[in-house]
Amino acid sequence: DAGVTQSPTHLIKTRGQQVTLRCSPKSGHDTVSWYQQALGQGPQFIFQYYEEEERQRGNFPDRFSGHQFPNYSSELNVNALLLGDSALYLCASSPIRDRPGTEAFFGQGTRLTVV
């Protein structure tokens, strides 16, 4: 079992550009959540996808969007990048059909640097 895999591992973009990050969930998991972790901070919830729909959203602007595919993999898109978007982006998967709070498994993250 490969666990949660994210790509790419590192990325450098210029202000104003757009970026797409990818996540493959752990086998058997159908729910994917995305988190942003700024340097020295805890992860902040961006949004969650289940059955190819956004189910919950944190306090992030519309520049942050996502998608979930029929195979449960997911993409996070960020438009009009700002310097403040530089962070580690973490993907977490979980089996939502289990009771609430079931363990979320995290990927290694994508380190995004905006210059």
Partner 1 sequence: AQSVTQPDIHITVSEGASLELRCNYSYGATPYLFWYVQSPGQGLQLLLKYFSGDTLVQGIKGFEAEFKRSQSSFNLRKPSVHWSDAAEYFCAVFTGGGNKLTFGTGTQLKVEL
Interface with partner 1 by CB under 8 A: which residues? 4, 31, 33, 35, 40-45, 48, 50, 55-56, 58, 90, 92, 94, 96, 99-109, 111
Closest residue by Cα to residue 46 from 97, 109, 98, 4:
109
Least Cβ distance, residue 62 to partner 1 (angstroms): 19
Secondary structure (3-state) at 62 = coil
Q: Bridge-partner residues for 105, per DSSP?
A: 93
In angstroms, the CA 44 to CA 54 distance is 16
> Judged by CB, which is closer to partner 1: 65, or 106?
106
> Judged by CB, which is closer to partner 1: 13, or 111?
111
Least Cβ distance, residue 21 to partner 1 (angstroms): 13
> Judged by CB, which is closer to partner 1: 13, or 50?
50
Give the DSSP per-residue string, 73-113. Answer: -EEEEE-S--GGG-EEEEEEEE-TTS-TTPPPEE---EEEE
> Judged by CB, which is closer to partner 1: 48, or 74?
48
Least Cβ distance, residue 34 to partner 1 (angstroms): 11
